[in-house]
Amino acid sequence: MFAETPIDKILENKNKINLPLFESHEDQTGYYTPKLNEMLNDHYKVIGFCGKGIFSNVVKVVGINNNNKEYAIKILRSIDVMLLSGEKERNLLKKFNELDKYGKT
């Protein structure tokens, strides 16, 4: 039903996809360790920690260039299989957004 990105293509583009957003703050299992007030990609400031899952954790941030609007950013573990899972999820969410142009579902 939904087209998936071939694994070889994802691994080939790993360095393009996995650009560092922040200084390297990861634990031994590849989880990002958030630091309060840390800047991510010069656009977001970390203001909290939302949770941790199997292949990522989520931090609460404010958009510096967007009137301090709050966002949640999912940060994948730095392990290849987690990157693949995250890429599949991103493609699926992108397809959902295309189908729901008015944000009703």
Encode the chain (105 residues) as per-residue pLDDT tens digits.
Answer: 344 545 455 445 544 444 444 445 777 788 888 889 999 888 999 999 999 888 889 999 999 988 889 999 988 888 888 888 888 888 998 998 888 877 766
How far is the C-alpha of 77 from the C-alpha of 44, rounded, in Å? 19
How far is the C-alpha of 68 from the C-alpha of 61, rounded, in Å? 9
The yes/no answer on whether domain 7-99 falls in CATH 3.30.200.20 is: yes
**Residue 92 tokens, joined:** 């699926």
The residues pairing with 45 across neighbouring beta strands, listed in sequence order, are 39, 62
